[in-house]
Structure 1
Amino acid sequence: MSGWLSQVIDQDYLLQARQMQALSFAVHIPLVCFGMALPTLILFLEWRAMRTGQEVYRTLARRWSRILVALFAVGVVTGTVLSFEMGLLWPQFVGTFGSVFGLGFAIEGFSFFVEAIFIGVYVYGWDRLSPRWHFASGIPIVLTGVTGSFMVITVNAWMNNPSGFRLQNGQVVDVDPVRALFANPFLWHEFVHMYIAAFMVTGFLIAGCYAVSMLRGRTTPYHRVALAVPLTAASVAAPAQIVVGDWAARTVGEQQPVKLAALEGLGATTSGAPVHLLGWYVDGEVRYGIEIPRLLSLLAYHDPDSTVRGLLSFPPEDLPPVNVVRIAFQTMVGIGSALALLAVIFLYIRIRAHRLPASRWFYRAVVLAGPAAVVALIAGWVTTEVGRQPWVVYGVMRTNEAVTAASGIPIGYAVLAAIYLGVVVGVGWILHRLAIRPLPADPPPRELVEEGVP
């Protein structure tokens, strides 16, 4: 203990508080993805409607804007819960470092209010604004959805690589929030990684819904466009994520060597360190895994003979739960690789043959891709957050020094789980109601209109 608290917090409180926070993140993060990516897809559809005059694009944009409203409303609920949890579960963290990262949450709050205003303008302006002004009213939604998420990620990046302050007698002094939040080597790879993940999650989930319709024989132009647009966005994002992942791994290797060792389960410091697929870390080594020689050194430092520091070279109290980190990381990478393969198949057929794939197996894979992308998203955040343990602020404040000493967390945890269950059921019902609303009737052929046939 480094003296942040005058008392040692019961470990039970720490585990319960972390589980409660993790539950809230798991519910909220997919909604963040929709807030970042869905407005862009909607504006693209509206732009296509203005360019081509085809009503199918406008119909899709209008229907998806209702989904955006529903998910934004739920995001307000889950985001508010997270805000309260920050102060209630981690009072020492917020009280000590609030002056450092507070600017990030202030800008995020401002972005949220601007986004809410323009979502209202956009949704209620479909028949009240000219097409150009209506399209323009959606641009701030795209921008604020990105800036709000960007500011939250600046705080997370700072937690992984803290700077912009000094500690003097346990007090934070000489605070420079701009340097702390924006001059951080973790910031840009975290933001780009999350931004691309947002298009993967949103694109594959929406495409999966319409893939079900395609499997049921609904192959109208509406359903084909509704599948092609989000699937194309997700398919462009998925291969790009592999490049960003390499960037992130090299930054982690330089700044958080203990996390890099935990990702692989590397016990001893090794020159030409291998990667083990699957397996279980125990007693300083990975057992039952499939070894790929020198791959960890190559991926982390772009040199197959480079030396990677092992877990046994760090104090035991500074190690994260290795198997949790390894399983989460390999889950993220495995699903991400499968999604990238699916994306390449789709793009190849789309570009080469100028059509959608014909195989029913492809559409079955798209249906599974949406939930799989959510699993990969949450696994990625587990990798980031659990891999930083036991630190809430890396190298500065431990998580058990930040947690509340209040009792009653199990009761709050149970109530929160029940509330989230109700929210999930409610959202499912709302989205189902929106999905079954009848489509507008197709206009009659032009020649019939000219002849006066109703």
Structure 2
Amino acid sequence: MEDLLAARWQMAVSLGFHIIFACIGMVMPFFMATSHYQYLKTKKQLYKDLTKAWSKGVAIFFVTGAVSGTVLSFELGLLWPKFMLHAGPIFGMPFSLEGTAFFIEAIALGFFLYGWNKFNPWFHWFTGVIVGISGLASGILVVAANGWMNSPAGFDFVDGEYRNIDPIAAMFNDAWFTQALHMTLAAFVSTGFAVAGIHAYLMLKGKNIAFHRSAFTIALVFGSVAALLQPISGDLSAKDIAVRQPAKLAAMEAHFQTGESVPLIIGGIPDVEKKEVNYAIEIPGALSFLAHGDFEAEVIGLDQFPEEDHPPVLITHIAFQIMVGLGMALVGLSLLFLFSTWKKKVWLDARWFLWLFVIGTPLGFIALEAGWTVTEVGRQPWIIYGILRTEDAVSPIPGIQYSFYLFTAVYLSLAVVVTFLLMRQIGAVPSYPSQDIPSSDTSTSSTF
């Protein structure tokens, strides 16, 4: 395996692993804070037990995300030293703010985990909210750094040198808002449906129905609202990419020839050599409308760019189709949940209904991984779009493939350990003998 490919694979595995735990760590504190709020308002023991259960899950994911995120930071310097040479002076200060958010999150999490019966109850709840807010801020700041790679700003590039550096302009680049919005909603969708699916499965097994029903509802409310907002975010992103990175949009849509009134294709397998898409469903003029708000608008194709600047069309297009397809499936599940809550409450207890959400458990994270594939692969061959090519940024040190094998083994081992810990904790939830939610204020010794 050549060094460039090994370096890219190592970053892909590292990012693919980290992003799952990072998203869960961003979102679960809000679930935890919601159940804690319910406990403070109702004094029902179930909500206290659920809060403690989720707080232990948050701690596990926080540690896992911190470890994998730290590894990613080191990999940027070890695998891509020329990228850090160029990016460090420009984005170093904004990126350091992510570290500040991380420290605040760690402190607040410590207060929350060990603050039971020690702090004022509402202050204790507030520390949990801070865990969520700081985790969300940390994620947004990281996405801003990735947005800068897609839309470099905050400097003038003159004669191969970076001048007039403005870190604030670099952080608030043209891509940061749409990417941060899309990523934040994706985190809530993927985590919400994953958590709801797990609790739906445990309800189907007849275990602690009241406990798991409450968890299922809280998670699915967050996930469903985010899923319904995600298409709006996706539309904003598509219109932004059409202007900033037309080559990426062309690869996403397998759009080879510039033209007007361009159809939107659904599915299909691109044939890069023949510059056509086979087995696709076409919606006339829809791509022109989605990209520019006009069914007759011109959409730039790959023919306007040198072939050496083309992103990998097949991977980008298929990943984009997976992301959109699964996203729409989750929109459908969201509408079903909201309709059943409003009009058909009897469905909430139906086995077919719960099985649908069990099946939907991994869909959000698959869509999340596909979306990051579109973002990263669609930017190629650039590591800093239009400025620095990926092949020019890779480390000259040989043997990168061995670190790829090593880190992949470490991540697989870590995934097994985390899965074991979560399964053990899920098996230790308090047992409730009936559907009634206990109202006792006494803490149970066995949580999550």
TM-score category by the smaller chain? over 0.9
Offset at residue 185 of structure 1 (A)? 2.3
1:227 is aligned to 2:220: no
C-alpha offsets along residues 259-306 of structure 1, whole Å, 9 cap, x if unaligned?
111111111111111122222222211122222221111111111111
Work out the CA distance in 2 between the residues paired with 1:368 and 1:440: 25
Work out the CA distance in 1 between the residues paired with 2:32 and 2:438: 28
Work out the CA distance in 2 between the residues paired with 1:172 and 1:393: 13
Q: Which residue of 1 aligns with 2:78?
A: 88
Relative distance call for 1:174 and 1:439 in structure 2 (3 A) is same
Q: Which residue of 2 aligns with 1:387?
A: 378
Mapping for residues 233-382 of structure 1, pairs under 5 Å: 233-282=222-271, 283-354=274-345, 357-382=348-373
Relative distance call for 1:239 and 1:438 in structure 2 (3 A) is closer
Relative distance call for 1:212 and 1:304 in structure 2 (3 A) is same
The range that moved more, 431-440 or 244-253, is: 431-440
Q: Which residue of 2 aligns with 1:451?
A: none
1:145 is aligned to 2:129: no
Work out the CA distance in 2 between the residues paired with 1:255 and 1:391: 14
Matched-pair contact (CA < 8 Å) for 2:44–2:437: no
Work out the CA distance in 2 between the residues paired with 1:134 and 1:19: 43
Matched-pair contact (CA < 8 Å) for 1:154–1:187: yes
Q: Among residues 42, 51, 65, which one is paired with 1:61 in the alignment?
A: 51
Aligned length: 437
Q: Which residue of 1 aligns with 2:416?
A: 425
Q: Among residues 392, 411, 422, which one is paired with 1:401 in the alignment?
A: 392
The range that moved more, 50-59 or 383-392, is: 50-59
1:32 is aligned to 2:32: no
Q: Among residues 61, 69, 72, which one is paired with 1:71 in the alignment?
A: 61
Relative distance call for 1:50 and 1:356 in structure 2 (3 A) is farther
Offset at residue 239 of structure 1 (A)? 1.2
Amino acid at match of 1:35: G
Task: Look up the SS of the partner of 2:154 in the other structure.
Answer: coil
TM-score normalised per structure 1:
0.93
Work out the CA distance in 2 between the residues paired with 1:266 and 1:429: 45
Relative distance call for 1:438 and 1:203 in structure 2 (3 A) is closer
Work out the CA distance in 2 between the residues paired with 1:308 and 1:337: 24
RMSD in angstroms over aligned alpha carbons? Answer: 2.0
Work out the CA distance in 2 between the residues paired with 1:315 and 1:151: 33
C-alpha offsets along residues 153-184 of structure 1, whole Å, 9 cap, x if unaligned?
111111111111112332212100101111x2
1:97 is aligned to 2:87: yes
Identity %: 39
Q: Among residues 9, 30, 38, which one is paired with 1:19 in the alignment?
A: 9
Offset at residue 441 of structure 1 (A)? 6.3
Work out the CA distance in 2 between the residues paired with 1:403 and 1:299: 36
